Structure formats: C-alpha cells, structure tokens
Amino acid sequence: MTQGSSLSRFRRVLDPVVRRLGFLLVAGAIILAGESRGVRAETITVTHWGGQFYGVPYAVAMEKGFFKKNGVDVTGILTAAGGGTAVRNTLAGGIPFGEVSLAAAVQAINSGQKLIIIGAGSWSVADQMWLVKKDSPLHTIKDLFGKQVAYTAPGSVSNMLILMALKANGMTPQQVKLVPAGDLGANISAVGSGAVDAGFSDELIIAQNKELVRPLFMVRDVLDPRMMQTVMITTAEYAKSHADIIKGLVNSRREGLAYTLDHPDEAADITAKAYNNPHTDLFRDHIRELIKENYWSDGRLDYPAMNHMVEGLQITGQIKGDVDWPKYVDTSYLPADLRPTQ
C-alpha cells in the first residue's frame, strides 16, 4: 500500500470523527452560551419565611418577575426559626444569600465565619409582642417574674428583644425562665398547651387567634421600636466572584418593596399565597400597618438602629463594647444612592 493510499484511508476514517467532535464542541458552546445568557433557578434564605413579614419584598419580587429581570431566577425561599439556623441555611442555599437577624449575623462573623453584611432588611420592631392565653392572670411584663417565657432561637431578634425588655423594666434574665421554642407557630402552640406562660408573637398571629390568646405587652410600649431586626448577608468570597448576582438580589428586593408600598393590597395577596395562608384580609390589614410603621428598609443601613439591637448581645455578655461596623459591613453591593455618604 502506498503512502498516499494509506493517508487517504486514514482521512476517511478520521474525517467523520473530526466532524462529530466539531459538532459536539459547537453544541457544547451553544449550550454554555445559552446558560450564560439565561438565568439559573436558585434558592435563597429569609428568616421566618412563611411566618413573619421580612419576606414580603421577596415574595413580590418573585411574583412580579423582578429577580429574573435582574439576572437571577429565585424560585424558592428557605426558611429558618431564627438565630444561627438562618445563617446556616444561608450558607447551605443555592445562593449563599440570606436575610437573617442582625444579632445572628454579628455572632457568626465574630465566630470566624467569612460573612459580610451587605444591606438592611427590617428596621423596626413595632409589631412584635409577647402573648399569653386569653384567660391568663398575667397582664404586664412585670408579671413574668418566675414564669416560663418563650422566644424563637438563641441569637435571634426575639432573644435580644426579651432581654432588652426585661432590662428596661428592671428585671434580669435570671428572674424568668427563657425557653427557645422555635418559630411563631411553635411559640403560640407552647402558650396554648401551657408549656410556657408567654410566647413571642406579632399582630398577625393575634388577629388569627384572638379567641385563644391576647397580647401581654407590645415591644414598642417598652422600648424604642427603631431597631435593625434583619440584615442581608452573603459570604465575602461569593460576593467577590458573583457581584452581579448579589447586586441583582439587592435590587430585586428593593423593587419588591417599592411595589409593596405602591400596591399594598396586591402585595398582601401575593404574600398570603406564597405563605400558603388563606387570611388575605388579615394580611392586607397587617401590611398596611407595617407600612405606617416604616417597617422595611429599602436596603440602606441605619447604624444607630443597628447599635440599638446590639445592646441585646451586650446584655448577655456575648460581645463587649461597641461593634466596629466597617469590619462587618460592605455596602459596595448596594445601589449608589443607598450607600452612606462620607
């Protein structure tokens, strides 16, 4: 066989392979290009999703397509009972982004977690309360002396609030028995069963269960309600490598909040559906009240409100002195008009 015929035979064998390989490479390139242009379905974390109202802007953003418009398709929200659980869920989510309690975020960062606070969530506690059975003999916070008092989870907003409320009324944590009961549903169940004397709640829970329970005290009646309840967090590494996604999430939440403020009843209906709750009338009333209380931040941070919440950590001795916020916060992922001016 001549060299020419051998080369010709080799080409006849090789050409289909090359063409097939070329097809696969082109097809793969098309798929990759499509993925880079499209949006990828992901999950994020919002503390007490389905129970409390930190999640309203996110529910609206999902329903109205704001996430997709901003380049990230959030199709699911992971929930948590508060505190460190929310931080852990954030790290386990499809995107390591979550709205968690400020106290939990500070504690996680202090423990060495490479997290950053990138923006504000809820900056009022005006609707928070502790409830008791309707026929309970307790009527004021001072009646809690020697009683079992439930909150959600260690390091959570409710943990901080009960400590601060007790202190404001001349009481110490040692004078009551504090019990981490879980989410709001678990708190009201603990009260209803008699496992605890009082439990953490909000106005919506009271409205849905007014035949069974009543408020013992409103936080706004014993403390300044302007406190940073929740903040948006992510990991420093993820934010650096996926800045567009983080900015897209922040912008989507902002747009969800703006839509809520302009269309409160529709936002209430969207949230009730997302929370699988049939009480749309109560959701409408509650969201209108929260708007009056200026409950949600558009993302901008309020350092005095953050320091106010940190007082709870100081009371427990979990931190000493003030928080050096520049070591915890990176506002570069906020829109320019929400960043603090120098």
pLDDT score, position 81:
59
Per DSSP, helices labelled H in 169-296 are 184-193, 203-208, 219-222, 236-241, 243-262, 264-274, 280-292
Confidence label for 92 from pLDDT (cuts 50, 70 and 90): low
pLDDT score, position 318:
75
Beta bridge partners of 151: 180
pLDDT score, position 22:
42
What is the average pLDDT across 286-300? 95
- pLDDT tens digit string along 141-197? 999 999 999 998 887 778 889 999 999 999 999 999 999 998 888 999 999 999 999
What is the average pLDDT across 54-76? 94
Could you state, in order of their start, the residue ranges of all structural domains in the chain? 1-38, 41-124+229-338, 128-222
Distance from chain centroid for Cα 103: 12
What is the average pLDDT across 57-61? 97
Confidence label for 17 from pLDDT (cuts 50, 70 and 90): very low
Quote the mean pLDDT of the chain: 85
> Higher confidence at residue 313 or residue 46?
46
Contacts for 317 with CB less than 8 Å, ≥ 6 apart:
none
pLDDT score, position 84:
64
Confidence label for 215 from pLDDT (cuts 50, 70 and 90): very high
Token pair recorded at residue 153: 């989870």
Domain over 128-222 is classified CATH 1.10.1040.10 = no
Contacts for 19 with CB less than 8 Å, ≥ 6 apart:
none
> Higher confidence at residue 340 or residue 82?
340
Whether pLDDT at 2 is above 70: no
Sheet holding 199-202, edge to edge: 199-202, 128-133, 213-218
CATH classification code of 41-124+229-338: 3.40.190.10
Q: 41-124+229-338 with 128-222: one CATH topology? A: yes
What is the average pLDDT across 235-245? 95
